[in-house]
Structure 1
Amino acid sequence: MNPVQRLLPRPLQIVLTVLLLATVGAPVGYVFLASINTDLAVAAGEFWPEQFSFANYARIWSTVPLGRGLANSLLVAGTVALACAVVAVLSAYVLVRHAFRGRRTVLRALLGMQSIPGTLLLLPVFVLFATIGNTLGVPTIGTRWSLFVTYLTFGLPFSTWIMVTYLRALPDELTEAARIDGAGTAQILLRIVIPLSWPGLVVAAIFAFLLGWNDVLFASVMTDVDTRTAAVVLQVFGTGQEGGAIPPYGQMMAAALVCAAPVVTLYLAFQRYIVGGLTAGGVK
């Protein structure tokens, strides 16, 4: 018998599942229905549209620079996810498989860095990049690479800790046997560690991707009109409709769903690896 079935009776499982699905699905359903409704009907509190129309999904591409924002988000968040996964697995391999002075300090520092609120670092990061730009005479503020470095700084500690937890669960005998057969460190990483670490790598990459995709705070001050991410475009679109006539609720809801679609697709595509990576190291 399934452990969950032993813990809860079948009828209670069904009730809890329905309540959970309703709690999660009700807001998403309302956003979708509002996106295919008229602005006047949404403002009047109408839940079910009298006539279904997907015109809002066509209008958002000309009302706001959503396409450019999505492209910037995919470029920045995608490169951050790839860089975090690669650097994290290399760093975690050194921290797990090699003993050296200060190793525990580094591991504790990785956890300690997660407790620092990003809001406190907004001004120092901005001043740092502005100073570098003025000193070297290169553009920094308003560029994608500055946003990439910022997200990489915040994403690497968590991604590295995920890979440390995952690599600890891999048997040492695998790498020892490879070394006996004459394999070098690079061969061990490419042929043994990385193929066996796909769930951990996917989790590290997805969390780094979400960091870059959902961030509004740093992206709002580190980008300009041409380099704004999708989250900033949505924020500007929402705040720019305050006052005056009825805001374009339908277009705002449609834009929100379009921006959420890549993340949902990512989760659905890699959910098997996500579950395996998050539960790695839980059983010793």
Structure 2
Amino acid sequence: MSASSEAHRLLPRPLLVTVTVILCAMVLVPVLYILLASLNSDLGVASGEFWPGSFSVESYGRIWTTADLANGLVNSILVCALVAVASAVLGTMTAYVLVRHTFTGRLTILRGLVGLQSIPGTLMLLPVFVLFSSAGNYLGVTVVGTRWGLFLAYLTFALPFSTWVMVTYLRGLPRELEEAGRVDGASTPRILVRIIMPLSLPAIVVSGIFAFLLGWNDVLFASVLTRPGTRTAAVALSAFGSTQEGGALPVYSQVMAAALVSAAPVVLLYLVFQRYLVGGLTAGGVK
């Protein structure tokens, strides 16, 4: 039975259409308001206009100086891209060892990967900050306020999830492919690079995108572990919005424009990797 026929069987068609319209409206109406507000003037948005009296892209030009968005976007892209690549690669290698080899503590590690997902990140903020500060004092290495310190923090939280995604996916890959490679004289690293990774590309993309989003959407850790020169786009946007509160004329139009510009890289990422993302999310459930 197809997915559409299954949905029609569970819900009557009029109710299904109504629910679909309501869910789409809940997502699209706020996005439409943000878009229209970014094309409006600050005065028009402050007065409560939904439809701009005159369309203007002036806010998109101002945010690069008022919100310091360019520096934040560069920092976010660098840190989050490195986290995505590192977590995807390390997660694949770790998952391959956990799936294909049996050793003492294997089940404990697998259970720990699941258990780590239940720990709220807010509880880890103070321990991570103290650990990074202590590393700077005892090792003479500056961690807090640097991009690579933020990279280590994000990788710590992204790697368990990426590893578990790859464990779920690799369990469905047939061992015969690896055995054929070994018959041809391929070593374990060569099998991993030439056979496992190409076949696991959808799952690798999924783990990488979720790792990217973990860093891109974070405000808490980035606010504590960065300084003005290394803060991310989320922190820059949050600081820009908070500094405008209580002003004579809040620059709501510029805040909306900055929010759309900050969301653009994520939307582009989904559009580019949409095919792999859908395949990776569904493959684990099917297998």
In the superposition, the TM-score normalised over structure 1's length comes to 0.96
Distance in 1 between residues matched to 2:286 and 2:161, nearest whole Å: 20
Q: Within 5 Å, which residues of 2 pair with 1:105-254?
A: 105-254=108-257
Confirm or deny that 1:4 pairs with 2:8: no
Q: CA deviation at 1:275?
A: 1.3
2:85 corresponds to which letter in structure 1? L
Identify which range, 9-18 or 20-29, moves more after superposition.
Answer: 9-18
State the distance in 2 between where 1:204 and 1:30 align: 32
Q: Which of 18, 27, 30 is equivalent to 2:30?
A: 27
Q: Cα deviations across residues 185-230 of structure 1 (Å, max 9, x unaligned)? A: 0111111100000000000000000011110000001000100100
Give me the whole-angstrom Cα distance separating, in 1, the residues matched to 2:119 and 2:24.
34
- The aligned counterpart of 2:265 is 262
**Alignment-derived partner of residue 94 in structure 1:** 97
Q: Aligned partners of 2:161 and 2:200: how far apart in 1?
A: 16
* Seq. identity, %: 65
Paired residue type of 1:199: P
Per-residue deviation, 1:44: 1.7
Aligned length: 284
Residue pair 1:82, 1:205 contacting (<8 A) in 2 also: yes
Q: Does structure 1 residue 46 correspond to structure 2 residue 25?
A: no
Distance 1:125 1:18 in 2: 44
TM-score (norm 2): 0.95
Offset of residue 23 of structure 1: 1.7
CA drift at 1:49:
0.4
Q: CA deviation at 1:268?
A: 1.2
SS for the counterpart of 2:88 is helix
Give the Cα–Cα distance (whole angstroms) in 1 for the partners of residues 88 and 185 of structure 2.
27
Report the Cα offset of residue 17 of structure 1.
3.3
The list of structure 1 runs, each at least 4 consecutive aligned residues, that deviate by more than 6 angstroms after superposition, is none
What do residues 140-163 of structure 1 show as CA deviations (whole Å, max 9, x unaligned)? 211011000000000000000000
- Of 104-113 and 137-146, the range deviating more from structure 2: 137-146
Contact in 2 for aligned 1:168/1:281 (Cα 8 Å)? no
Distance 1:278 1:231 in 2: 26
2:153 partner letter = T
State the 1:45 CA deviation. 1.3
2:79 to 71, 76, 81: 76
Residue 11 of structure 1: how far off its partner (Å)? 5.1
2:240 alignment partner AA: F
Cα offset for 1:114? 0.8
> Distance in 1 between the 2:262 and 2:7 partners?
39
C-alpha separation in 1, matches of 2:277 and 2:212: 13
Question: Is the CA contact 1:40–1:246 (under 8 Å) kept in the aligned structure 2?
Answer: yes
Q: Which runs of 5+ in 2 are unaligned?
A: none
Q: Residue 63 of structure 1 aligns with which residue?
A: 66
For residue 186 of structure 2, give the secondary structure of its aligned residue in structure 1: coil
